Amino acid sequence: MFEHCPPHRPQKIKLFVYLHKKSHHYLFYVENYVILCPMENKVSNELTEQDYAFMKRAIYLAETGMNSGQGGPFGAIIINSKREIIGEGSNSVTSTNDPTAHAEIVAIRNACKKSNNFQLDGCTIYTSCEPCPMCLGAIYWARPERIFYASSKYDAADIGFDDQFIYDEIHKENSHRSIFTKQIMQDDSVRIFKKWAEKANKTEY
């Protein structure tokens, strides 16, 4: 049975959602109904049924990644301006021995690879938890248009993922940071920067 999107958010929505490209609609399986939702051509800051479905997908990735032993309970997806999923990721820090393999980072890498671009212009990131400082920095470098998150950084801190100390470290002078930090050979490094500034055929980002 097909119905058009209701103006309110359904209380129970299953995880399966896919794009019906021929009709340019999304199909949402909600209990015993199939809800037919037209694609949005323009990215808006107003929440839609699609936003909740995409967040459900991110939360699903967090749970399945955790249950499979891939890593911590975090998941993320990235959609483009056509509302197509172009990148997904689950935290895989412990399974890959990569401390940077947070869900958002993995999703960004996959999205950039699929789109063959180092920028995510017009894209939206849905992440199961508020991004940590590292992921937030990566997100800003990737330059998507919007970020949605579910759990807060305080929720994460309650189960042992407390990033507040990193926020605190950023504002400290080098001499007061918990990891020894000292600047050396600045002139040698700045020399390369000057060459970059003068480079004619560089790809800026």
Strands in 54-122 per DSSP E: 75-79, 85-90
Q: Please tell me the distance from the alpha carbon of residue 168 to that of residue 128, in angstroms, as a whole number.
A: 23
Region 3-18: mean pLDDT is: 39
The pTM score is 0.77
Q: Please tell me the distance from the alpha carbon of residue 163 to that of residue 155, in angstroms, as a whole number.
A: 11
| Residue tagged active-site, from 40, 49, 84, 104 | 104
Taking only the tens place, the pLDDT of each residue in 57-96 is 999 999 999 999 999 999 999 999 999 999 999 999 999 9
Residue 48 reports pLDDT greater than 60: yes
Residue from 68, 101, 73, 106 nearest 89 by CA: 106
Model confidence at 8, pLDDT cuts 50, 70, 90, reads: very low
Taking only the tens place, the pLDDT of each residue in 121-145 is 999 999 999 999 999 999 999 999 9
User: Is 40 one of the catalytic residues?
Assistant: no
Q: What is the dihedral of CA 111, 112, 115, 117, to 10 degrees?
A: 160
In a 3-state reduction of DSSP, which class is residue 23? Answer: coil
Q: What pLDDT score was predicted for residue 76?
A: 98
